[in-house]
Amino acid sequence: MASSELVPRTTILRGGRVIDPASATDALLDVVVQGETIVALTRPADRDSEMAHGATVIDVSGCVVTPGLIDLHCHVMPGLGDFCVEADEVGVGMGVPVLVDGGTSGVATFDLARRAVIDHPATKTKILAFIDPNQLYLATKDFICHKLEIANDARNIDRQSLAESLDRNADIVVGLKVRACYTDDPTVSPFLEAAKAAADEAARPLPIMVHLGRFPHTPCISTPTLLAALRGGDIITHAFRGGGGTLDGFGELIPEFRDALDRGLLLDVGHSGTDFRFREARRMFAKGVFPHTISTDLNIFNIGGPVFSLAETMTKIWAMGVDLADVIAMCTINPASSIHRQRELGSLAVGRSAEVSVMRIVEAPGTVSDGYETVAIERRLAPVGCVRGGSWHAAHSLGADVAA
């Protein structure tokens, strides 16, 4: 090996405004990355010019630099069914170095999806996943597992096989994604109970992410029943969808929802095409109920709108009056801690793995839409790029004006 290959490549993100909610940082800092590790966070004035020698310097002045954004719910296993988008298109291509697949696959197909996408040498984005506890589950445009009633057939659960998969894939499976269907008894979802049992038996904490709302063809347990069955640390996605049954007819939190929040239930946006409503979010925010995490649920149905990207989804929450630092926390330290990866993800610190995102605040009047309602905005977050795997990846748009 040539000696030059022994020296890790150095990348410097120069002159950006670093906002890292986990460390309460909001300051102009250079972020210095060597190989795949953050080696310095320095004031630009203190910059060691020797460090810049031979380094790739990215001028990010005027930009916001954050810990690597994490999209906690998206669908990025293309080739498994027909529902997914390309991981690197919505990941590093949109300034998001870390994606969490939201249960595209059940147990029987997971290892193949892992090999084809997550571990594939061409994949640049770091991908983690929630796994569906069923043997056979795959997300498709026509909801085939619901149409064939596999998603509500208890024979689809194999506890031994599930436990082995959770063990075998412990490095990337961060939780279970449950479609809370029932079989005979509408007060119990055997799929949710199997997921809870598997999580209890696992050697590490595994949150359960549950979809709020219904599915075609298969019945689900009611929202109060679901909320009562979830544990602290579990995650409701599509939490601001409207008509989800968490609020009563007077706009008050139903008791089961209040109790679940008191136990530590976490709320995820999971925008999707029809699963985020400004109107519902306003009602929830007025009650002091905010998202813990902002995610997209990006798939082929919504990438062309109304979701578009994680940055666009962040812009929507920001436009609703949430502080920028809190919006960033909802896509960095909060998702990292919700999947128990806060020691490696979600914060910028020397010695940590270098996942770093860069966005630009575009000051210009415009609009955003939840698919139903259009809201006027004064500014938006636009992805510029990210560092992942020791390399700088410019985002599809607005990346060209950043010198690389």
Site for Zn ion, rule CB under 5 A? 102, 297
- Spatial CB neighbours of 385, under 8 Å, sequence gap ≥ 6: 58, 92, 95, 357, 358, 392, 393, 394, 395, 399, 402
Give the tokens for residue 88.
């690197």
Nearer to Zn ion by C-beta: 102 or 291? 102
Q: Which is nearer to Zn ion, 58 or 212 (CB)?
A: 212
Q: Which amino acid is at 272?
A: S
Q: Which one, 297 or 312, has the nearer CB to Zn ion?
A: 297
Q: At what angle do helices 159-168 and 190-201 cross, to 10 degrees?
A: 50
Q: How far is the CB of 211 from Zn ion (least distance, A)?
A: 7
Q: Which C-beta is closer to Zn ion: that of 292 or that of 360?
A: 292
- Closer of 67 and 102 to Zn ion (Cβ): 102
Residue owning tokens 């990215």: 58
For the bound state, the minimum distance from the C-beta of residue 208 to Zn ion, rounded and expressed in Å, comes to 14
Shortest distance (Å) from residue 350 CB to Zn ion = 36
Identify any residues that bridge with 379 across adjacent strands, giving them in sequence order.
363
Is-contact 191 155, C-beta < 8 A?
no
- In this structure, what DSSP letter does residue 146 have? H
Closer of 297 and 355 to Zn ion (Cβ): 297
Please give the radius of gyration of the chain, using alpha carbons only, rounded to the nearest integer: 21
The residue to which tokens 């799929």 are assigned: 191
Residue 116: CB minimum distance to Zn ion, A: 19
How near is the Cβ of 177 to Zn ion at its closest, in Å? 8
Q: How far is the CB of 322 from Zn ion (least distance, A)?
A: 23
Smallest gap from Cβ 191 to Zn ion, in A, equals: 16
Long-range contacts of 37-41 (CB under 8 A, 24+ apart): 37/8, 37/351, 37/352, 37/353, 37/354, 38/348, 38/349, 38/350, 38/351, 38/352, 38/353, 38/354, 38/356, 39/10, 39/350, 39/351, 40/350, 41/348, 41/349, 41/350
Measured from the CB atom, is 9 or 217 closer to Zn ion? Answer: 217
Alpha-carbon distance of 227 to 143, in angstroms, equals 24
79 vs 251, beta carbon nearer Zn ion = 79
Strand, coil or helix: 318: helix
Nearest distance, CB of residue 102 and Zn ion, angstroms: 4
Task: For residues 88 and 309, give the distance between their C-alpha atoms in angstroms, rounded to a whole number.
Answer: 12
